């Protein structure tokens, strides 16, 4: 379980304050490229955070002037197809820990998110950008296809036709355009970012944790299939009816006070 305060690994720096956990990619000399070691550390921290009932919001950031410059080109190509398959599976596990997290997740871009770095950001529930941040999708200029699930997550944000065009053209998208097309949720000057992120994180953290986890679980099913939605609703809501959080939420509503949820 995380305790309040900071914890430092080789390439990941975590800072816990209340229900918020900041996870910072920390390799500024290489622009926070996702090396094998960084991926291992980030997977371990996200697994720990997802399992910790005291963590309600995960805030993902990058140290220095970059959010994340993507995969480590110096380690590519893998030595053989077996290593390639292992690398891709590790990336899929990492992205899944963000996109399938029962916690609220916020990506904070105070610099460029490139390639796989964009995949990390779009796997989060919210994307905050400073006015000088940007996304870059250079895959076709490198002779690679997008990975990290971004063909799915980018399509969910901007529509699949627009996402396909962005990828085919290897586009770079600044913060203003990102906000316009729905790729970013909030764009602010750097000096206003910390307060805005904390406000959003605290708003999410004030909600019932089990209900938030259930909503996110339902969004993982095929939203175009009504019967799958009904099945997911029944599975999640049946459990929530008998949770302590629902009892507390109902009592708080009737008593016109703020609820104090425990995630049980």
- The predicted-structure confidence for 79-92, as pLDDT tens digits, reads as follows 778 888 888 889 99
* pLDDT tens figures, 47-67: 999 999 999 999 999 999 999
Residue 156 has pLDDT above 80, yes or no: yes
Reported confidence tier of residue 76, pLDDT bands at 50, 70, 90: low
Reported confidence tier of residue 231, pLDDT bands at 50, 70, 90: confident
Q: What's the rounded Cα separation, in Å, for the pair 135 and 115?
A: 8
> At a CB cut-off of 8 Å and minimum separation 6, what does 224 contact?
none
* pLDDT tens figures, 240-263: 778 888 888 888 878 989 888 998
Q: What's the rounded Cα separation, in Å, for the pair 47 and 2?
A: 12
Mean pLDDT within 29-52: 95
Task: State how far the alpha carbon of 200 is from the alpha carbons of 29, 131, 214, 246, in Å.
Answer: 30, 18, 19, 23
Strands (E), 9-114: 12-17, 20-25, 57-62, 104-109, 113-114
């Amino acid at each position: 379980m995380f305790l309040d305060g900071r914890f430092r690994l080789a390439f990941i720096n975590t800072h816990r304050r209340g229900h918020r956990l900041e996870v910072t990619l920390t390799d500024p000399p290489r622009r926070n490229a996702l090396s094998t070691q960084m991926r291992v550390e980030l997977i371990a921290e996200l697994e720990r955070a997802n399992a910790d009932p005291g963590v309600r919001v995960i805030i993902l950031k990058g140290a220095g002037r970059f959010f994340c410059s993507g995969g480590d080109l110096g380690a590519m190509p893998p030595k053989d197809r077996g290593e390639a398959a292992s690398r891709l599976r590790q990336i899929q596990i990492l992205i899944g820990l963000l996109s399938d997290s029962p916690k609220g997740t916020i990506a904070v871009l105070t610099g460029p998110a490139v390639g796989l770095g964009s995949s990390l950001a779009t796997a989060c529930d919210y994307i905050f950008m400073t006015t000088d941040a940007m996304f870059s999708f250079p895959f076709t200029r490198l002779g690679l296809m997008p990975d990290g699930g971004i063909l799915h997550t980018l399509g969910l944000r901007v529509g699949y036709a627009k996402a396909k065009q962005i990828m085919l053209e290897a586009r770079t998208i600044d913060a203003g355009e990102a906000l316009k097309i729905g790729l970013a949720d909030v764009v602010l000057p750097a000096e206003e970012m910390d307060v805005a992120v904390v406000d959003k994180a605290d708003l999410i953290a004030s909600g019932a944790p089990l209900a938030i986890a259930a909503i996110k679980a339902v969004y993982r099913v095929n939203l175009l299939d009504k019967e799958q939605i009904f099945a997911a609703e029944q599975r999640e809501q049946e459990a929530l009816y008998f949770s302590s959080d629902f009892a507390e939420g109902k009592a708080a509503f009737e008593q016109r006070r703020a609820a104090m949820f425990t995630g049980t």
